[in-house]
Amino acid sequence: MKAKHTAGIVAGLVGLIAPLFLELPGLNFAGQVTLGIFLMAGCFWVMEPVPIYTTSLLVIFLEVLLLSAEGPLVTAARLPSAPARKVAVADGTPAWEVPTKALKNDRGVLLERPGQAPQSIEAKIVQRNGETVWIQAAGLGESSRVISDPTHWLTTYKPTPYRTFFASLADPVIILFMGGCLLADASVKYRLDRALTSLFLAPMGSAPSMITLGLLLVSATLSAFMSNTATTAMMMTLVMPILAKLPERDPLRIAVVLAIPVGANIGGIATPIGTPPNAIALAALTKQGAHLPFATWVLLALPIVLITLLLAWLVLIWLYPSTSREIQLGFQDRFERTPKAMGMYVVFGLTALLWLTEQQHGISSNIVAFLPIVALPIFGIIGKKEIHNLPWDVLWLMAGGISLGTALRDTGLAEWAVRQVEWSSMGGYAIVAGLALFSFALANFLSHTVTVTLLAPIAVTVGATSTEISGFSLANAMVAVAVASSYGMSLPISTPPNAIAMGTGVLETRHLIRAGGTIGLIGIALTLFMARFYWPLFLK
């Protein structure tokens, strides 16, 4: 344990500093710093020497420290500038005297603009005077100053205000996610999850295969608005009585215990709030100006979710057919009718409605998210306890990813990275498919959220500079990456719902690998299919 930790920390620190020592032509200092931060974050997130959310905050902190306009590094490094002195020239045209080193490529100078990035203007050399040079350039005026070191890193990097990095913590998508969490907590508090379970399972009857289907559907439905992990935990408490009624050797036990994490993982794909990767994808898209409405996401995701659920069910009952004839479940939870529960239903329904009709009324889903955040506490439907129980570690994790994306864009690292690869040689779809497959592979070993956090910037960079690549749509790529990550569910370490299922002691690892792996492969296959044929219909 200790060794792994130390290795992770060492790797992260190496990654942080390494870019400063490497020859990275075309990448300015700010970009190098950002690359270092990115590499460090990658090492820390993957090897987890420190908790994941700590790494996210570390990212924000380093960005503020090293990259922000108010940070010590930027304020210490000032752009050197020199005044342009007017001189008279033989032909009467105005000429200006500037230091020779202010010349950029002998062809231009940079005009200092307070509060803005320097402007590059053409200059004609009139006379060289050793240390100084006389030039003629349009745009120079009496009080102009030119940058005397055109290669200074601050010329190509406009320092992001630290406010922007701080703001990642309250990014609208974070708020969106928080609203979803509060809705989910309220649902659990008023036993909506139990009521839904009873509702779904009642018509399923007593046939084992139908029970498996019912559990899949309930888990998927719940996890569409609750966290996958919480859904799995809740559902596990409900299925324990079922397990108690089953004989010890009945494969149905395995099917039942598997149905829950599988259903939860798949169901989380359905809505932007279903699982953090979705929210991160949305945030990244919004930053690039490609805002994806709530309803659109649902429209894109629902078909793949339903088909995967159906196929998952078939896989489960084929792999683990039950030896029992019928099982009496006896779930009898009712929907609560107390005033507060009714209030919760109203808020829930209204929020969902507003989310889904975003395009019709034009109010962003992030703003709608304030409805549950405000209404639920005001009417006493939830209280301090639920606020305290919000998954701040997840929200911070997302914030870290969002701020990383900001830095990647602002420092030009994204652009530079993309330029290193001949993307145009690949087809647009190939890039999307590659990203999706990479996401799926990583997500089997890493936290899904971390996977998407690491891949989103890459997708974004590709999208930012290669809109000319035919067949490539940034939105398509982001959705594919997010969806694919949710299908990484073959190992206990892939995702917490899997760990919970293993913890019941009913499953052996091989059961999970077989079922999770199979369903995951089906899922990624469907993702690639959707990315090729279905999603482009809606996404450009």
Positions in the binding site for other proteins (CB under 8 A): 52, 188, 227-230, 233-234, 236-238, 240-241, 243-244, 265, 268, 275-277, 389, 391, 393-394, 397, 447-450, 495-497, 500, 503-506
Note the Cα 207 to chain centre separation in Å.
Answer: 40
User: Is the CB of 132 or the CB of 449 nearer to other proteins?
Assistant: 449
Beta strand 119-122 with 124-129: parallel, antiparallel or unpaired? unpaired
Nearest distance from C-beta of residue 503 to other proteins, angstroms: 4
In angstroms, give the least distance from the CB of 165 to other proteins: 21
Cβ-based nearer residue to other proteins, 112 or 386: 386
Rounded to a whole number of angstroms, the minimum distance from the CB of residue 254 to other proteins is 13
- Cα Rg of the chain (Å, integer): 28
The residue among 184 and 426 lying less far from other proteins, judged by its C-beta, is: 184
Tokens 């057919």: give the residue: 321
- Whose Cβ is closer to other proteins: residue 162's or residue 348's? 348
Q: What tokens appear for 268 in the block?
A: 């989380």
Question: With contact defined as beta carbons under 8 Å apart, do 398 and 170 qualify?
Answer: no
Nearer to other proteins, 79 or 243 (CB): 243
CA distances from 174 to 103, 121, 225, 391 (A): 46, 42, 15, 11
Q: Which is nearer to other proteins, 227 or 322 (CB)?
A: 227
**Minimum CB–partner distance for residue 392 and other proteins (Å):** 9
Least Å from the CB of residue 116 to other proteins: 40
Closest approach, Cβ 182 to other proteins, in A, equals: 13
Considering the complex, what minimum distance in angstroms separates the CB of residue 394 from other proteins?
Answer: 5
Do residues 172 and 126 lie in contact, with contact meaning Cβ atoms separated by under 8 Å?
no
Q: 110 near 119, Cβ under 8 Å?
A: yes
460: β partners: none
Q: Residue 188 or 524: which CB sits closer to other proteins?
A: 188
Mark 374-390 as b/e (b = at least 16 C-beta within 10 Å).
ebbbeeebbeeebeeee
- Least Å from the CB of residue 226 to other proteins: 9
Distance CA 443, CA 515 (A): 16
- Taken in order 12, 13, 18, 19, the sign of the CA dihedral is positive
Q: 164 or 232: whose CB is closer to other proteins? A: 232
| 160: DSSP letter | B
Tokens standing for residue 394:
């997840």
Nearest to 493 by CA among 452, 448, 524: 448
Helix, strand or coil for residue 481?
A: helix
Q: Which tokens in the block code for residue 278?
A: 């979705």
Residues 186, 382 contacting (CB under 8 angstroms) = yes
- Name every residue whose Cβ is closer than 8 Å to that of residue 221 and which is 6 or more positions away in sequence: 196, 200, 267
Q: Is the CB of 32 or the CB of 223 nearer to other proteins? A: 223
Q: 459 or 506, CB closer to other proteins?
A: 506
Q: How far is the CB of 256 from other proteins (least distance, A)?
A: 12
Task: State in angstroms the smallest separation of the CB of 117 from other proteins.
Answer: 37
Compute the least distance from the CB of residue 486 to other proteins, in Å: 8
Q: Please tell me the distance from the alpha carbon of residue 41 to that of residue 37, in angstroms, as a whole number.
A: 6
Of 95 and 211, which has the nearer Cβ to other proteins? 211
Quick one: 418 or 499, whose CB is closer to other proteins? 499
Residue 193 CA: distances (Å) to CA of 224, 297, 333, 357: 12, 24, 9, 25
Tell me how far apart the alpha carbons of residues 161 and 170 are, in angstroms, rounded to a whole number: 15
Q: How do strand 95-99 and strand 85-87 relate by DSSP bridges?
A: antiparallel
Nearest one of 381, 355, 186, 171 to 276, comparing CA atoms: 171
User: Could you tell me how many residues make up the chain?
Assistant: 540
The amino acid that residue 187 corresponds to is S
| Minimum CB–partner distance for residue 56 and other proteins (Å) | 10
Least CB distance to other proteins at residue 122 (A): 52
Identify which of residues 29 and 440 has a Cβ nearer to other proteins in the complex. 440
Upper half-sphere CA count for residue 26 (Cβ side, 13 Å)? 9
Structure tokens at 364: 């962003």
- What kind and span of H or E run contains 107? none
What would the two tokens of residue 444 be? 């089997």
